[in-house]
Structure 1
Amino acid sequence: MTDRRLAIDAWESLFRAQHEIFELISRDFDEGVLSQGEYDVLLTVTRGDDQTARLRDVTANMLISQPSVSRLVDRMAARGLITKCPDPDDGRGALVKATPEGAALFRKIAHVHGRQIAERMSVLSDDELAQLRDLTSKLRDRHP
């Protein structure tokens, strides 16, 4: 049986570490250039084949509601960062594709952001980073 106090202490430590690190790396984003939400959309889209993703996959990777994602995607399309078109394989869905401008801006921000993350996480060894990744995946994959 899991020690209840230890579980609470571990959760609190994980939560505080996530909050503090998130606050530090959020400084990588300039709302006038590319917001963190826009970065997250482009992260999902640029990882897809032909830098394209289904809108439902973008929504699944975001920590905001579906209507909020739809509004964000529409604003990004208006800014020329992405295009949005009907999904030919799903009449109710949409495909989102990074424009060359959106992909270039994403790469520019991702370079700085990735460096900041690596620097912050450098207090852990590669083995510890792998263990952290595996442990947090295990927590996310658990569905009671």
Structure 2
Amino acid sequence: MSGQPSSSTVRLAAETWEALFRSQVAVMRRLQSAPAFKKMPAKEYDVLFTLSRCPSGKLRLNEINDKVLLSQSSLSRLMDRLEKRGLVARGVAPDDGRGVLLELTEAGLELQKTIGREHVRDIAELVAPALTPAEQRELLRLTEKLRASVSGH
């Protein structure tokens, strides 16, 4: 045996991925058209959300980049825009004088919370009618398992 997956295994994996991807696209399109994202584009909110979830409240640009779906150069420009709007601030990393840590300002945190509350309600309006609580827990378990496998955790 060569260790190669069978054609049926490959086909099932491809169909599973496409279903997951198409579902994500459909959900994101609906969420991005919701009123919550009239205040700020979803990609900008994603950065604020990522910073809000960090226990220290501060992350390096490459750490943010690991968690969002943007190129490094796009993320750098986005961070510049957020900083100019007073939503994030840059600081020097204490362990590395050349390193830069990014954190939410008070205005950034308030905006993230405001959009976040509305966004969570929008998510619930899409997911709850489609999936039972048990199905939601199973989808959560499966997607976390897939992410851990891909991330090497």
Give the shorter-chain TM-score range. Answer: 0.7 to 0.9
2:3 is aligned to none
User: Which residue among 13, 16, 25 is the counterpart of 2:19?
Assistant: 13
Displacement after TM superposition at 1:75 (Å): 1.0
* Code of the aligned partner of 2:11: R
- TM-score w.r.t. structure 2 length? 0.82
For residues 1-144 of structure 1, the aligned pairs below 5 Å read 3-28=9-34, 29-30=37-38, 33-49=39-55, 51-122=57-128, 123-143=130-150
The answer as to whether partners of 1:55 and 1:93 remain within 8 angstroms in 2 is no
| Structure 1 unmatched ranges of 5 or more | none
| Structure 2 unmatched ranges of 5 or more | 1-5
Q: Please give the secondary structure, in 2, of the residue aligned with 1:49.
A: coil
The Cα offsets for residues 60-112 of structure 1, whole Å up to 9 and x where unpaired, read as 11111112111111110011011012212234431111111111111111111
Q: What is the distance in 2 between the residues matched to 1:43 and 1:129?
A: 22
The answer as to whether partners of 1:56 and 1:93 remain within 8 angstroms in 2 is no
Moved more, 69-78 or 42-51: 42-51
The Cα offsets for residues 101-144 of structure 1, whole Å up to 9 and x where unpaired, read as 11111111111111111121112122211211221222223349
Q: Please give the secondary structure, in 1, of the residue aligned with 2:73.
A: helix
Q: Please give the secondary structure, in 1, of the residue aligned with 2:33.
A: helix
Question: What is the root-mean-square deviation in Å for CA atoms of aligned residues?
Answer: 2.0
The alignment of Structure 1 onto Structure 2 pairs a total of residues equal to: 142
